[in-house]
């Protein structure tokens, strides 16, 4: 007589469930890859346009054409011209360079400092952690945009000062996430083994802990670049960012707000460029974080 387990086994139902689960997994993976690829493609195009802006067949971004003032999209100006007759497409491309320089440099600066503070605070704990996290909590207690405006007002206008202001604004996020990741990894077996073998603190931090928290920090950095681009655009919109002669997306949006009703293209196109770039960066960061979570789950 067959056992109850074998009699109750229904291969058709079980295989159907397996096939359904497999199809859902493949579908999720395809959607995941498509979204990441689309976002990475757009961001790659923006980076390429910003890097190659000087050699692209574009009009000078500050060239004035009195006969084309407020002109809509056409053969002479593909995306139209602004109030002063400057080519909008050219200014969007050169504005991408400004936004990327500010976003990447501010994120790199705040990431380097925040990663160092988070690593040291999370590894050594005690007074270093209390001082670091206390300072970060003080920065976080201020509304982000108000703090950015205050820092820009104190430091003054200019690309360098805007980078410093945004880096200070993003510092708490990097410090807190680095500390949290450090706390999680200092209790792992490989760190305990390194300590038992007599490894120095510097070696454990640089060779064991830092490489394991970098993927999370890098994934979060894409989101911070997106935030930095928005903050730079907001400061330029308020006249507190880079000098007006330098094309920026925020400055272009502000330039067209007085004629937004009859000539919406002057502000619409730079706003769309900023929106798509920020969306792409957020998508890339989110997808990288998901991959890191899956990698961590499998490793665990």
Q: What is the pLDDT of residues 71-95, one digit of tens each?
A: 889 888 899 999 999 999 999 999 9
Q: Supply the pLDDT for residue 192.
A: 84
Query: How many CB atoms are located within 10 Å of the residue 272 CB?
Result: 14
The helix/strand/coil state of 174 is helix
Looking at 1-5, 55-59, 111-115, which range is the least confident one?
1-5
User: Residue 178: how many CA atoms within 13 Å on its side-chain side?
Assistant: 31
Joined tokens for residue 276? 């798509």
Please answer whether residues 53 and 97 qualify as being in contact, where contact means their C-beta atoms are separated by less than 8 angstroms.
yes
| Percent of the chain's residues with pLDDT above 70 | 87
Using the structure block, give the residue that is written with the tokens 């009195």: 66
d(CA 134, CA 143): 17
Domains identified in the chain and CATH numbers: 80-299 (1.10.3720.10)
Q: Supply the pLDDT for residue 279.
A: 95
Measured distance between the N- and C-terminal CA atoms of the chain, rounded to whole angstroms? 43
User: Is pLDDT of 3 > 80?
Assistant: no
Using the structure block, give the residue that is written with the tokens 């346009």: 49
Q: Supply the pLDDT for residue 24.
A: 52
Q: Supply the pLDDT for residue 6.
A: 42
Joined tokens for residue 249? 């997306």
Crossing angle between the packed helical segments 11-51 and 265-299, to the nearest 10 degrees = 130
d(CA 160, CA 210): 29
């Amino acid at each position: 007589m067959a056992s109850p387990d074998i009699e109750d086994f229904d291969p058709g139902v079980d295989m159907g469930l397996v096939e359904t689960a497999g199809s859902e997994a493949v579908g999720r993976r395809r959607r995941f890859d498509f979204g990441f690829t689309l976002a990475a493609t757009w961001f790659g195009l923006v980076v390429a346009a910003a890097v190659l802006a000087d050699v692209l067949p574009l009009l000078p971004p500050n060239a004035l054409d009195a006969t084309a003032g407020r002109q809509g999209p056409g053969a002479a100006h593909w995306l139209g011209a602004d109030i002063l007759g400057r080519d909008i497409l050219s200014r969007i491309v050169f504005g991408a360079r400004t936004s990327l320089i500010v976003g990447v440099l501010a994120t790199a600066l705040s990431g380097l400092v925040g990663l160092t503070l988070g690593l040291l605070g999370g590894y050594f704990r005690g007074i270093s952690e209390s001082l670091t996290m206390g300072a970060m909590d003080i920065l976080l207690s201020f509304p982000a945009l108000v703090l950015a405006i205050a820092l820009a007002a104190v430091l003054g206008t200019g690309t360098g000062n805007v980078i410093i202001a945004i880096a200070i604004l993003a510092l708490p996020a990097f410090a807190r996430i680095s500390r949290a990741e450090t706390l999680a990894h200092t209790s792992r077996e490989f760190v305990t083994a390194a300590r038992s073998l007599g490894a120095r603190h510097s070696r454990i931090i640089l060779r064991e802990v830092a490489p394991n928290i970098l993927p999370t920090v890098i994934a979060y950095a894409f989101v911070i670049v997106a935030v930095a681009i928005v903050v730079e655009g907001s400061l330029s919109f308020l006249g507190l960012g880079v000098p007006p002669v330098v094309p920026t997306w925020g400055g272009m949006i502000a330039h067209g707000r007085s004629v937004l009703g009859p000539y919406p293209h002057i502000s619409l196109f730079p706003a769309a460029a900023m929106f798509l770039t920020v969306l792409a960066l957020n998508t890339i960061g989110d997808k990288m974080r998901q991959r890191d979570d899956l990698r961590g789950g499998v490793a665990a």
